Every structure is written in C-alpha cells, then in structure tokens.
Amino acid sequence: MTGTRAGAVPAEWWERLAARLIEALVFGVFYYILFLALWGVFRTVGVLDAFQGRLPGVFAWLLAGLGYAGYDWSALSRGGRTFGKAIMKIHVVPDDLPRRAVLKRSLVYPGPAMLMGIPGVNVLAGILVFAVGMLILIDRPLQRGPHDRLAGTLVVKDLR
C-alpha cells in the first residue's frame, strides 16, 4: 500500500467498533429525524398506509445510509478519519488514496444498512452487517473488512 507509514500498527477490533458506535449514535438521531419528517410528509400526501406504513422507514434508512456514506467519503478524503476514528485515535491509510477508492469503501460499509427498512431484506442486511464485523475479527493480523480490501486500505492506530 503506497502511503502506508512504516511501523503502522493495525487498530484493534474494539477500537474500530467503538468508533463506529460513536458515529452510529449521531446517525441514529439523524435517522429518527428523517423518519419523523418523512412520516409527516407521507401522512400529509396520503401515502402513509402504502406498504403497511413502512414507507417512511424504508426511505429514512436509505437516506441516512447515503448520508453516512457521503460523510464517510468526505471525511476520509480530507483527513483519513471520521469523528469516531478521531476520538478513538485511529485512521485509515494510505494517506494518498484516490477519492474513487474512498468512495467504494464508503459505499460498501453502510450498503447493507441502507436496506434495513425493507421488510424481509432487513434480516439479510443485518446478517451482512454482522458478517462484515466478523470478517474484521478473523482477518489476522491486519483485521481488514471487505470495505478495506476493496479500497486497499488499513485502519491503524495513531502513533503521533
């Protein structure tokens, strides 16, 4: 990997999980705000009962997932870290990663979560999210997930 610092130490699985959970709290609030706003809009236009009332949830998951992917792409493109990673003192290398590779990484991770609002598919999406976490755990010694492999990235501890 070009741009990888010599002596970089891969981040522990729990550091990566903590960073994602910190971000999930913020984006969970964003999701609920979207859900409530969409619920009001769909109720106003008379389509709230379509798909057994699940339409606001489907769109809220999709929009929140796209919002998270956009945020992740922007943050990693600018500094190699999101606010969760900054708090946990970890970052993504290489530093000189093309924006296209960062976009792939940013779309693969929340991709399954964007499907969580769709009945039936939500179970498969949950399994995929769980599988990503498990793949990070079993990939020794680098602990890379599918999104890392696709983009050619590694999450490392800050040594500064």
Residue 75 lies in a domain: yes
The span from the CA of 117 to the CA of 153, in Å, is 29
Domain count, the chain: 1
Residue 8 lies in a domain: no
Tokens matching residue 55: 């339409």
Q: Which domain holds residue 77?
A: 13-157
In this prediction, residue 114 carries a pLDDT of 83
Residue 143 and residue 19 in contact, taking contact as beta carbons nearer than 8 Å: no
Return the biggest CA–CA distance within the chain. 59
Residue 66 lies in a domain: yes
Residue 113 and residue 126 in contact, taking contact as beta carbons nearer than 8 Å: no
Residue 4 lies in a domain: no
Residue 147 lies in a domain: yes
In this prediction, residue 75 carries a pLDDT of 94
Residue 2 lies in a domain: no
Residue 3 lies in a domain: no
pTM for the whole structure = 0.84
Residue 6 lies in a domain: no
- Residue segments in the chain with a per-residue pLDDT below the cut of 50: 1-3
Tell me the backbone φ, ψ of residue 139, rounded to 5 degrees: -80, 100
The span from the CA of 160 to the CA of 90, in Å, is 10
Question: Which residues are CB-contacts of 150 (< 8 A; sequence separation ≥ 6)?
Answer: 104, 105, 108
Residues 58, 59, 60, 63, Cα dihedral to 10°: 130
Number of Cα atoms under 13 Å in the Cβ half of residue 96: 5
